[in-house]
């Protein structure tokens, strides 16, 4: 691109929040947009670069809320094998793609909301950066759970926090007989029509922030810096073994009936054909751990009346034909006997890890099917 072409694109893609050096004395921005220092993010980069390995060779890195891609390009310069910058606003993806062209660095960009992130939409990355993002979210816990799922090793968070000097102390509180610790978290009141990705919503106190990250599942949560009303935190996942709870929340199924079966005769033999897909991160074993049966994943169902009254909680079982890895599917024949009493029923299919849990208990969607018995 000629200098004039670059200058014209810089104007077309204004306003710029990131000041990125494009070479030849050209920078993406020359003035502050919303009160940030003109050279943003040079200041926070001094902290973030200390938290990243100097050499990122062989590593994959996701930068969520990447804006024009300053950090994503720096990661590529450190040798990262794959860098993906994701931002919820199209304008920033355009900026990132333009800078990529000028710098000639192989960084991918995608417009995606943090709520859409999961291993199926983007895969998993060794390192995830979520800088200047958390306080822009109305659903911070959902977002943190997504960040956990797409991160293999390390998550770096940089965020605005509740101003430490105005943050009440955490304290022990009794919910009935259970004692628990309450950590202050501030809600920012905005006009009802305020745009989510631009406004601020929740400002956690530092203790709330670190507790949230621990509870999301990170094995190590290290508060590395508090500067005024901002904090930087490094979170590491456990290596190798994961806790039982960790595995259970990764049991997620998508169930679909392959053939419609809406009406039947009382007490007749029924065959449902169900397509089951493992859309979580855990492997489903057909035979159970060490083949003892515990944890073996099967398709089960509950028989309910139309008003939700339970008729039979354990309404049939069908075994998996084989182990299912994340992303794999199987077609299962599910045979049961229709109820003796005519009426309208709901057959609610769910996967079950035998003697451990129904998947629904950890948030997986069941498949509800109305059945009229004549």
> Which residue ranges make up the site for ligand SAM (CB under 6 A)?
41, 65-67, 87-89, 92, 113-114, 131-133, 136-137, 197
Per-residue tokens: 286? 């057909």
- Gap between the Cα atoms of 71 and 228, Å rounded: 22
> Which residue's CB is nearer to ligand SAM, number 113 or number 254?
113
Sign of the CA dihedral running 136, 172, 248, 277: negative
Per-residue tokens: 29? 């921005």
Q: How many CB atoms lie within 10 A of CB 293?
A: 11
> Which residue's CB is nearer to ligand SAM, number 160 or number 303?
160
Q: Which residues contact 268 (CB under 8 A, 6 or more apart)?
A: 337, 338
264 phi, psi to nearest 5 deg = -160, 170
Q: In angstroms, what is the minimal distance from the CB of 192 to ligand SAM?
A: 18
Q: In angstroms, what is the minimal distance from the CB of 262 to ligand SAM?
A: 40
> Which residue's CB is nearer to ligand SAM, number 123 or number 321?
123
CB 232 within 8 A of CB 51: yes
Q: In angstroms, what is the minimal distance from the CB of 96 to ligand SAM?
A: 10
Q: Which residues contact 231 (CB under 8 A, 6 or more apart)?
A: 158, 159, 161, 206, 209, 223, 225
- Gap between the Cα atoms of 273 and 270, Å rounded: 10
Q: In angstroms, what is the minimal distance from the CB of 71 to ligand SAM?
A: 6
> Which residue's CB is nearer to ligand SAM, number 140 or number 295?
140
CB 85 within 8 A of CB 63: yes
Q: In angstroms, what is the minimal distance from the CB of 38 to ligand SAM?
A: 13
> Which residue's CB is nearer to ligand SAM, number 44 or number 339?
44
Q: In angstroms, what is the minimal distance from the CB of 105 to ligand SAM?
A: 17
Q: In angstroms, what is the minimal distance from the CB of 345 to ligand SAM?
A: 41
CA distances from 110 to 88, 185, 211, 366 (A): 8, 31, 30, 31
> Which residue's CB is nearer to ligand SAM, number 87 or number 350?
87
The DSSP secondary-structure symbol of 80 reads B
> Which residue's CB is nearer to ligand SAM, number 64 or number 282?
64
Q: In angstroms, what is the minimal distance from the CB of 259 to ligand SAM?
A: 39
> Which residue's CB is nearer to ligand SAM, number 56 or number 130?
130
178 phi, psi to nearest 5 deg = -90, 130
How are beta strands 82-87 and 108-111 bridged, if at all?
A: parallel
- Gap between the Cα atoms of 168 and 361, Å rounded: 35
């Amino acid at each position: 691109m000629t200098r004039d072409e670059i200058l014209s694109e810089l104007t077309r893609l204004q306003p710029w929040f990131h000041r990125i050096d494009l070479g030849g004395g050209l920078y993406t921005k020359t003035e502050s947009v919303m009160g940030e220092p003109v050279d943003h993010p040079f200041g926070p980069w001094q902290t973030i670069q200390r938290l990243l390995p100097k050499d990122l060779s062989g590593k994959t890195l996701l930068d969520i809320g990447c804006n024009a891609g300053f950090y994503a390009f720096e990661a590529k310069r450190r040798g990262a094998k794959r860098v993906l910058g994701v931002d919820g606003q199209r304008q920033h993806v355009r900026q990132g793609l333009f800078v990529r062209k000028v710098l000639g660095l192989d960084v991918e960009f995608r417009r995606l909301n943090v709520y859409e992130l999961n291993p199926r939409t983007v895969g998993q990355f060794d390192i995830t950066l979520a800088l200047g993002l958390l306080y822009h979210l109305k659903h911070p816990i959902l977002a943190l759970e997504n960040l956990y799922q797409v991160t293999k090793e390390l998550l770096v968070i940089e965020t605005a926090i509740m101003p430490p000097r105005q943050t009440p102390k955490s304290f022990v509180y009794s919910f009935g007989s259970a004692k628990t610790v309450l950590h202050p978290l501030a809600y920012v009141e905005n006009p009802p029509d305020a745009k989510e990705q631009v406004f601020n919503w929740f400002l956690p106190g530092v203790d709330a922030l670190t507790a949230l990250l621990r509870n999301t599942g990170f094995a190590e949560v290290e508060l590395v810096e508090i500067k005024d009303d901002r904090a930087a935190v490094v979170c590491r996942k456990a290596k190798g073994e994961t806790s039982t709870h960790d595995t259970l929340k990764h049991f997620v199924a998508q169930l679909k009936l392959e053939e419609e079966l809406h009406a039947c005769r009382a007490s007749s033999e029924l065959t449902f054909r169900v397509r089951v897909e493992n859309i979580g991160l855990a492997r489903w074993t057909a035979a159970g751990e060490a083949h003892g049966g515990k944890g073996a994943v099967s398709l089960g169902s509950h028989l309910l009346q139309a008003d939700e009254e339970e008729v039979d909680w354990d309404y049939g079982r069908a075994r998996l034909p084989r182990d299912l890895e994340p992303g794999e599917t199987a077609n299962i024949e599910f045979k049961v006997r229709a109820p003796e009493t005519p009426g309208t029923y709901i057959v609610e299919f769910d996967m079950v890890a035998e003697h451990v849990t129904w998947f629904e208990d950890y948030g997986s969607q069941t498949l509800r099917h109305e059945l009229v018995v004549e």
